[in-house]
Amino acid sequence: MAAKRRSSRAPRSGALRRVLVLHGPNLNLVGIREPGLYGHATLAEIDTRLRELAGELGVTVDSFQSNSEGALIDRIQAARGLVDAIVINAGAYTHTSVAIRDALLTTELPVVEVHLSNIHKRETFRHHSLVADIAVGQIAGFGPDSYLLGLRAAASLLRARK
Ligand code: DQA
């Protein structure tokens, strides 16, 4: 009988789990953009806090921001088999992008959806997320802490899968 091959997407024992954090369009401007809604922290500050927390949680974090749907999809595709979970704030693409949803599905990775603002308290067009039903869960409304809570959720999911 042929030896059982470990799936390339199975957790690598002993190795640090890798979490990809994706920031969608206009999130490069957080800190400047509508601070009443999105807070005063810049994206660089959020990414620094994520890296610090990753160290405490024993995972690694790679962050990527793009205003372009195609670039986000390319980054998601490149993550297949190379990361263990994805935390995503797809920005406005949350509400419109079937293509980002399809790319996330292709990875077969656990996805945590995050938003700085509580999208459910805002305009009705923001209430629907094309990511929500393929994500393990959604965290929204805690400002930059949404990302940190999202990373905690991802790390805890990965610990549970060990
Ligand atoms: C957002 C909410 C989206 O509706 C909006 O288009 C964004 C930011 C948030 O983090 O609250 O760009 O994703």
**C-alpha angle 78/10/134, rounded to 5°?**
65
Does ligand 1 have an atom closer than 6 angstroms to the CB of 92?
yes
Going by alpha carbons, the residue nearest to atom 6 of ligand 1 is 92
Q: Does the annotation mark 93 as catalytic?
A: no
* 49 C-beta neighbours (distance < 10 Å), count: 16
**What kind of fold does domain 17-160 have according to CATH?**
Rossmann fold (3.40.50)
DSSP result, 91-145: GGGGGT-HHHHHHHHHHT--EEEEESS-GGGS-GGGT--SSGGGSSEEEESSTTH
Closest C-alpha to 117, from 86, 97, 95, 98: 95
**Catalytic pick from 115, 120, 127, 147?**
115
Count Cα neighbours of 55 within 13 Å in the Cβ-side half-sphere: 5
Map out the domains of the chain as residue ranges: 17-160
* 106 C-beta neighbours (distance < 10 Å), count: 13
Q: Who wins on pLDDT, 128 or 14?
A: 128
Residue 12 is predicted with a pLDDT of 54
| Residue 113 backbone zone (phi > 0: left; psi -120 to 50: alpha; other: beta) | beta
Does ligand 1 have an atom closer than 6 angstroms to the CB of 63?
no
pLDDT tens-digit map of 85-113: 999 999 999 999 999 999 999 999 999 99
pLDDT tens-digit map of 61-91: 999 999 999 999 999 999 999 999 999 999 9
Ligand 1: which of 43, 89, 127, 147 to mutate, most ligand atoms within 8 Å of CB? 89
Confidence of residue 50 (pLDDT cuts 50, 70, 90): very high
Q: Does the annotation mark 38 as catalytic?
A: yes
Does ligand 1 have an atom closer than 6 angstroms to the CB of 49?
no
Does ligand 1 have an atom closer than 6 angstroms to the CB of 99?
no
Dihedral of CA 31/35/40/45: which sign?
negative
